[in-house]
Amino acid sequence: MTGAESVVVVDDVSTNNNGFNIGRLTLNKPKALNALDLEMADIMLKALQKWQTRSDIVAIVIDSAGEKAFCAGGDIVSMYESMVEAQGQIPAFLETFFETEYTLDYTIHNYNKPIIVWGSGIVMGGGMGLLCGASHRVVTETSRLAMPEITIGLYPDVGGSYFLPRLPGKSGLFLGLTGGQMNAADACFVGLADIMVASSEKTNLIEQLVNYTWGPTDQNSLQEAVNTILNDLAKPESEPQGNIEPNMALINRLCEADYVSDVVNAILSSDMQNDKWLSKAQSTLAKGSPITMHLVFEQCKRGADMSLAACFRMEADMSCRCGESGEFQEGVRALLIDKDMAPKWKYKNVEDVPKSEIEHHFTSPWSKESHPLSSLQ
């Protein structure tokens, strides 16, 4: 499945020494902002599994076609169609999609050689899932990272339950509730990216990987080699001004309460008029799904002391419940199908959501043994 027409271009790039190769995956649906569909996730997972056992492969590069986006999210239009069809049941397509996507993300987290993700342009939702677990997470001056699912009545999945509560202070909860966008400086500050490189350097990076004198292939040596190559390309002095670090004290104060309604009301009633970034975060929350507000709060609480594998299993449960409840379907309808931008959420305010509704999202549709992600360690 290689070739320019493939939705993911899979390439073995030969290096200039000792028969070593670089595995390269290029997301190739630039008109859809490289939003991840089932076929793409499947191709990526199979290629990564194959490369994991090949001793000539020294590193992986994951990048994308087009300047605009690394990956804008998941293919939520296909998910919408399956939800319409299933009429309140959990669509089989969603189960398969999330099983494949989370297995792919998990594989990236636990890979046995360096994975460089070129996170230039839009990196949101499903794109964050691909970036987050990589050993070498590159951002550029055009990077815009976010977990914007509050807008579509979903919740920050793809490992969000694991990584959001582990960000500095309350920044993860804030980013999940508001869909707040991070630039390269923010991403490096919170620890979701490792290094900032100019977007014009991508070809140069591939050249450096090809020309490098690859030697010992134990995992540490390979990681160190990629560190060296990336550090040579980095230009830390060109990092933009970030928005999170200067607002950290405020974010922590707004998000400190024990109840989600208190946190939401604190953010909504704070005067943010003088800060463009904060006002945008505030208005995204104001328009967002009240069910999602609860899910974000609860996943951050539960995920804080869960393993990565347990987080992905919990998210498979939650995502399927979202596919059943109608809130996610309504969010996609308003944003991408009818484009009226006016979702009719099931509850008007965060206070109106019954506890039982949220609890249901954390009950598994499967027994422990039959869970599709039961084999993740």
What is the smallest separation between the CB atom of 332 and ligand QUE, expressed in angstroms? Answer: 8
Binding part of the chain for ligand QUE, among 46-54, 97-105, 146-154, 189-197 by CB under 6 A, reads 146-154
| C-beta atoms surrounding 107 within 10 Å | 17
Residue 157 falls in the annotated catalytic set: yes
Decide if residue 151 touches ligand QUE (CB under 6 A): yes
> Cα separations (Å) of 181 from 10, 106, 192, 279, 336?
30, 24, 12, 12, 20
**With contact defined as beta carbons under 8 Å apart, do 144 and 122 qualify?**
yes
What is the smallest separation between the CB atom of 162 and ligand QUE, expressed in angstroms? Answer: 18
Going residue by residue from 312 to 351, which x/- string records binding to ligand QUE, judged by CB under 6 A?
A: -----------------------x----------------
- Which 170-229 residues touch ligand QUE, going by CB under 6 A? none
Residue 149 falls in the annotated catalytic set: yes
Contact pick of 42, 63, 75, 101 for ligand QUE (by CB under 6 A): 75
d(CA 180, CA 364): 29
What is the residue whose two structure tokens read 């059943």? 324
**DSSP state letters, 233-258:** H--GGGPPPPSHHHHHHHHHHHT-SS
Report CA 352 to chain centroid distance, whole Å.
Answer: 29
Decide if residue 35 touches ligand QUE (CB under 6 A): yes
Binding part of the chain for ligand QUE, among 46-54, 68-76, 135-143, 270-278 by CB under 6 A, reads 68-76
Decide if residue 156 touches ligand QUE (CB under 6 A): no
Residue 194 falls in the annotated catalytic set: no
Decide if residue 288 touches ligand QUE (CB under 6 A): no
> Active-site residue among 23, 37, 63, 74?
74
Decide if residue 152 touches ligand QUE (CB under 6 A): yes
Decide if residue 153 touches ligand QUE (CB under 6 A): no
Q: CB-wise, 8 or 335, nearer to ligand QUE?
A: 335
> Cα separations (Å) of 192 from 60, 243, 306?
19, 15, 19
| C-beta atoms surrounding 214 within 10 Å | 20
Contact pick of 6, 12, 32, 310 for ligand QUE (by CB under 6 A): 32
- Tell which residue, 344, 353, 59, 94, has the closest CA to residue 221: 59
For the chain, what's the residue count? 377
> Active-site residue among 63, 149, 317, 324?
149
**With contact defined as beta carbons under 8 Å apart, do 109 and 130 qualify?**
no
Residue 256 falls in the annotated catalytic set: no
> Active-site residue among 99, 101, 105, 157?
157
Token pair of 85 as six digits = 């069809």
**DSSP state letters, 95-153:** HHHHHHHHHHHHHHHT-SS-EEEEE-SEEETHHHHHHHT-SEEEE-TT-EEE--GGGGT
Decide if residue 148 touches ligand QUE (CB under 6 A): yes
> Active-site residue among 126, 179, 242, 303?
126
Decide if residue 76 touches ligand QUE (CB under 6 A): yes
- Tell which residue, 359, 119, 121, has the closest CA to residue 230: 119
What is the smallest separation between the CB atom of 163 and ligand QUE, expressed in angstroms? Answer: 16
SS3 helix, strand, coil % of the chain, rounded to 5?
Answer: 50, 10, 35
Q: CB-wise, 33 or 229, nearer to ligand QUE?
A: 33
Going residue by residue from 242 to 261, which x/- string records binding to ligand QUE, judged by CB under 6 A?
A: --------------------
Token pair of 148 as six digits = 């914007």
What is the smallest separation between the CB atom of 180 and ligand QUE, expressed in angstroms? Answer: 12
Decide if residue 77 touches ligand QUE (CB under 6 A): yes
Binding part of the chain for ligand QUE, among 70-78, 113-121, 239-247, 322-330 by CB under 6 A, reads 70-78
Q: Which residues bind ligand QUE (CB under 6 A)?
A: 32-33, 35, 72-77, 125, 148-149, 151-152, 335
Catalytic sites, residue numbers:
74, 126, 149, 157
